[in-house]
Structure 1
């Protein structure tokens, strides 16, 4: 007679390596296809427009409602050297707040033209 307690038979361990491989492949896929952009420096509500043309360009000058400027990590008067260093014919988008004065925007456009920046697009919202 055998009085030793009998242990129930163990189920074989499930192999989770294929699941881990799939998770890593999905992670790599989403990292490679995601478009990672820097956050906007401050909230800007673009002016409304009926235009269907899209503003495009690799560089953007951000202008807040109170006139604060932001370009490529620089703020206020420090944006001008960075803008002057742009190559000729580089398109520049301006993301100005709807509350920003049109007269002040015209002065900024004049200064940009003086720096040689002639391809300028104003970012607007559709549906005026």
Structure 2
């Protein structure tokens, strides 16, 4: 007597390896991302085509009225803090688009000739 062959149950998809990969990617992106602090003052940078992206730890914000802000300092208290920065630290300047160029030039001249400055613009 010959018994009929028992139908083989189809093997289910192995989803656990895919879940592992997704979680590893999630952890990777969480560990490599950087959360930027909110800007201390609201500025609208001028439009231009930058050659490189400006990034740095020292950011000088300048409002449309010409008021400087650096970290948690505002107004005249900014200049001594900027003078205390090491000379090899590049300073990123984010100025409002409504700030006149002559006023920006005057502010940049206060930084000194040896200070490396990166100006932030938007595309």
SS in 2 for 1:82: helix
How is 1:28-47 mapped onto 2 (pairs within 5 angstroms)? 29=27, 32-47=31-46
Give the paired residue count: 100
SS in 2 for 1:43: coil
CA distance in 1, matches of 2:38, 2:55: 17
* 1:47 and 1:124 in contact (8 A); partners too: yes
Shift of residue 56, structure 1, vs aligned partner: 2.4
* 1:72 and 1:82 in contact (8 A); partners too: no
Shift of residue 31, structure 1, vs aligned partner: 6.2
Gaps of 5+ in 1: 1-24
CA distance in 2, matches of 1:51, 1:32: 28
4+ residue runs over 6 A deviation: none
How is 1:89-100 mapped onto 2 (pairs within 5 angstroms)? 89-100=88-99
The alignment yields a C-alpha RMSD, in angstroms, of: 2.2
CA distance in 1, matches of 2:72, 2:101: 24
Give the TM-score normalised by the residue count of structure 2: 0.70
Gaps of 5+ in 2: 1-22
